[in-house]
Structure 1
Amino acid sequence: MNSIESLQWRYAVKKFDNNKTLTKEQIDTLKNAFNLTATSYGLQPIKLVVVKNKSIREKLVPHSWNQPQVLDASHLLIICIQKEYTSEEVTKYFNLVKQVRNTSDEITNPFKDFLTAEIDKKTPEELLIWNKNQAYLALGNLLTVCALEQIDSCPMEGFKPEKYDEILGLDKHNLTSTLVLPVGFRADDCFMKDLKKVRKKLEDSILEID
C-alpha cells in the first residue's frame, strides 16, 4: 500500500487480537520513529514508556475508563513529559550537539543563550503545556508509522495520568503520562474493522491560496 492507502487502512482499533504480538523488529521501529519525531528546537522534552507486561497493564485498565485495548493490545505505549523542566535541558542538548556534530561553542552559544532565556522566562504551567504539545507531535508521527508498517493502534486521552504515574513509578523519573497508544493487531470481530472512514471532503478541510 502507498501512504494514502495505509492511512485509509488505519483506524482507532477498539478490539485487539490478544493472541498476536508485535515482533522485536516492529517495536524497535516504533521506538526509533518516536526518537526521530520532530520537536520544538529539537529538545525532545518527551519520553516513551513501553509496557508489555500484562499484569501491570491489567492494573491500568480501571484507570483507563475500562477500555480493553490497554490489556488486549500487544504493547502499551505511553508518551510522557517531564514534570519539572528547566533550562538545564538546553545545556544537555548542546552538549549532545557538540558530541555529534563537533560544532564549536562560538557557533552554538548564541542559539544556546536564546533557548536558555526562552525556557527561563516560561512559568512551570507554560512549560507543561509546551511539552504536552510535543507529545502530540510524537503521537501523530507514531500513528502514521504504525499505518505504514501495518501495525494497528488506538490513540487515547481517556485515562487518569496520576494513577498511571503511580502504578508505573514515573515520579522517580520526573515524568508524567500524557498520552496512551495501545499497539498490536485488530481482532477479526472488531466492530469498526470494516466501517467506512468518515472524513470531510478535501475542499471542506483544505484552503488553498495561490
Structure 2
Amino acid sequence: MNSETNIIQSLTWRYACKKFDQNKKLNKTQIDVLSKAFNLTATSFGLQPLKMLIIKNDSLKEQLLPHAYFQAQITTCSHLLVICIDTAFDENSIDEYFDLEKNIRGTSEEIIGKFRNQLKTIYKNKDRKQIDTSAIYQAYISIGTLMTVCADQKIDSCPMEGFNPVKFDQVLGLDKMNLRSVLLLPVGYRAEDDIMSSMKKVRKPLNQVIIELD
C-alpha cells in the first residue's frame, strides 16, 4: 500500500468529532507531535505570527464551555487546542526572525539584510487590523495542518469557529500575553456513541470539484 493511499484513507476516516471519550487521553508523545506540527506549519515568509495554547485542565475547560455555546467537544476532549494570533507582531518580530535565521543557518547580514528591510517596510505600511487579518488567514492554514496530522495519527479532532473569542480571551488572560484567540481544535478519541463516527463521508464527485487545465 503506497503512502498516497494511506493518507487518503486517513482523511476519509477523519470527521468533525461531535463527542469525545472522556476516559481516553492523548499521551505526551502525541501532544509533542501536534506541537511540532503546529510549529512546522506554513506561514507568510516563515514569520510565525501565531501561538497555540494546549488546555488539559478540566476545570478550565468547564469555564470555557458556556463561551463555546455549550458544545460538548470543549469538555469531553482530551486536550483543547486554542490557535491564537500574536497581536504584538511588528517590525521587531521580523528582526527576531532574521536574527534566529542567522543563528540557525549561519546566514550573513549581507545576504539577508535587504530582504529583512523589505519585510519591515511592508509591515510598517500596514495598520494593526491588516497585520492581524493576515495572521488570521495563516491560523486557518495551521489548523488544516493539525487536522491532517491528527488524521494521520488516528487522533480525532473537531475544528471550531463557533465560540466567543472575547470571552475566551478574558478567561485565559490572553490580553496579558498579547494574544487573541481565533480557532479551536478539540482533540482526543471519538466516543463509541457518537453517531457521526459511523456515517459515510459526503463529498461531491471529483469531476465537480477538480478542474484540470491541459
TM-score range (shorter-chain normalised) is: over 0.9
Task: Please say if residues 85 and 124 of structure 1, whose CA atoms lie closer than 8 Å, have aligned partners that are also in contact.
Answer: no
**How far does residue 88 in structure 1 lie from its aligned partner after superposition?**
1.1
Task: Return the TM-score normalized by structure 2.
Answer: 0.97
Give unpaired runs (5+ residues) of structure 2: none
- Matched-pair identity in %: 51
1:16 corresponds to: 20
3-state SS of paired residue (2:154):
coil
Q: How many residues are treated as equivalent by the alignment?
A: 210
Residue 56 (str. 1) matches residue 64 (str. 2): no
Q: In the alignment, which residue of structure 1 is the partner of 2:156? A: 152
The RMSD of aligned alpha carbons is 0.8
Residues 174-203 of structure 1 show CA distances to partners (whole Å, capped at 9, x for unaligned) of 001000000000000101011111111111
**1:51, 1:76 within 8 Å by CA — same for their partners in 2?**
yes
Is 1:93 aligned to residue 106 of structure 2?
Answer: no
Partner of 1:123: 127
SS in 2 for 1:193: helix
Corresponding residue of 1:207: 211
2:139 aligned with 1:135, yes or no?
A: yes
1:96 maps to a residue whose letter is L
Q: Does 1:2 align with 2:1?
A: no
Counterparts in 2 of 1:94-109, with a 5 A limit? Answer: 94-109=98-113
Q: CA deviation at 1:99?
A: 0.5
CA contact (8 A) 1:18 1:74 kept: yes
Residue of structure 1 in register with 2:170 after alignment:
166
Amino acid at match of 2:12: Q
SS at 1:80 equivalent: strand
Query: Runs in 1 of length 4+ with deviation above 2 angstroms?
Result: none
Is contact 1:65-1:159 (8 Å) kept? yes
Runs of 5+ consecutive residues of structure 1 not aligned to the other structure = none
Question: Partners of 1:98 and 1:42 in 2: how far apart?
Answer: 14
Q: Render the CA deviation track for 1:147-193: whole Å, top value 9, x for unaligned.
A: 00000000000001111111111111100100000000000010101
